[in-house]
Structure 1
Amino acid sequence: MTATLSLTAAPGRVGAYARLAKLDVWDYYLALPLAWSLAGAAAWFTPAVLGTLAAFGVGTVCVVSAAVAFDDVTGHRDGSDAANYGPDAPARKLARKPLLTGELAEADAIRFGWAAASAGALLWALAAVLAPFSALWTVGLLALCLVTAVQYSWGVKLSYHGWQEVFLAGFGVGLVLVGVGLTAGAPSEFAVVQSVLFGLGPLLFGVYSNTRDADGDAAVGRKTAAVLLSRQGNKAFIVALTLAEIALIVTAAGLGAAPWWFAIAMAPAVFLRVAQLRRGVGLGDLLRARLLGLWAHRATVATLIAINLTIALGARP
């Protein structure tokens, strides 16, 4: 009987760890196909590039899983997750917090976090060894991404000391630049533009979540922009980020870093971003705005990949 119970409980346990790792939110992982598309047509299917991106990609899943697991432990300890998820559990999907539901204990989550971080570090090191290019700046940026991800809500707790927004964008930028650096060497101006657009994606759905969570975060001393700024100041901050993204798209095309038709191709993603701004800042529907932000980010990445494929294939003899 005991063996039967343990076997039937196993799938639920695995599911709890999957929810702890937030595997249903995969937007940072889109850095991998984006970096692949920037490697160039001649390198797309070479064993070195595919092996490098495979190790880097699985390692990225491990590193992000560690970061969000530690974030859940800290949020459980200080009560911010209970405050932010308790009053509106159906909309916020309380099941995504297995520490709050009691499916996992803190010790389970901590062990999982360190195991995932260790696996991620090893896989990222393997990616650097396999890579066609391993410039010092790439390895250094890889190490910075690892350390800051683990320290996001653990150790020095970067997200509690005013660095959350910087990390949300910077980590995404770093993933794309590392992927490009490992597979293609020094990034082009257009690759840098794309890495910044990619980094703005997680930031521009994170700020809406932070606005929704401002009271709970303030109560535990988590200094997000939504906590530090006034309500109107936070709205202005979100508007400024949205306009900065649109301005980057337009100026990249206008100044020659991107093809002249780049802004036209990006129009659907820009439309979604404007719709997100209207929904979140104009109408105050923060959770819907966050969802629109996810779709805007995914549309942006899909469009960038299509543009890169078009350029690379068009340049082939």
Structure 2
Amino acid sequence: MEAPSELREAVGGWPYGDLAHLAHVELITPRLEESLRFFTEVMGMSISGQEGDSFYLRAWDDYEFHTLKLTGGRKPALGHFAFRAKDAAALARRVKALEASGLGEGWTEGDLGHGPAYRFRTPDGHLMEIYYETVWYEPTEETRPALKNQASRFPGRGANLRRLDHINLLASDVTAVRIFMERYLGMKLTEQIVFSDGSEQGAWLTCNNKTYDVAITKDHLGARGRLHHFTYAVDSREEVLRAADICLEHGVFIETGPHKHAIQQTFFLYVYEPGGCRFEIASPGARLLLAPDWKPIVWNEEERKRGQAWGLKTVESFHTYGVPPVEE
């Protein structure tokens, strides 16, 4: 990898601000029809399109054509996840930097719903994309909102997910993935976990005025390139509580919550979708980050052993389960 000074020159002196937001996540599921039913009927998302073995979905206030791609596969896994660049020039800068990283894989023509995308991998092997050209969602007569400054009408169905919020990656080397995202994607660290032995156990990074778009946590099984969970936001804590009741009614496995995280202060509910992936419903999701000189909050080992914000102990599966599952 290039030295930081060479990289800064390569991207035109813009180390931060080229990425707009987390754009979409592709989930591989061995139970495509059941996963589709979960996200549409139980979570309240809508289908934007279908291509081959993939369905494209969005929450009611996502402005893009889709934020979730469900693809059939042999076992649950993260297919890829993508960021949208702020403009064409920002995309070009990031691609130049990614090519210098040695982890680039080249251009694709673009998925259903967006234009050309540059593909690359994190040092741990997670597949990522970055693109700029996108398809904005066009509401139908049935989904057209009364207030034209929201993407579509409130669905009044299931958990009524509002928007894609963040993704949590598992990594064998948290530090390597975090440095990669800072150096080659221009993201900013907001919170992290550092244990007494100096090991970095978790990192939360942002590219905008949210406190995080990506979380990276230690894979305690030593596997590489796995997914811990991804998250959609709803409007209130009450809606998270209602989502728990809805999941109970539909026989959805609830792993932990509703409760509140200490890190990032998210009010959360974690469930498993039918394909086997951990999924989070949260409010408010990431918080607003307004301070331009924000200094990362560092949590130590003793603080993390206290559990979540109000004392709930972190469930053991939270440290070991991810997708694809690790074979014995």
Q: After TM superposition, is the score higher than 0.5?
A: no
What's the TM-score, normalizing by structure 2?
0.30
Higher helix fraction: Structure 1 or Structure 2?
1
Determine which structure has the larger strand proportion and give its number: 2
TM-score computed with the length of structure 1 as normaliser: 0.31
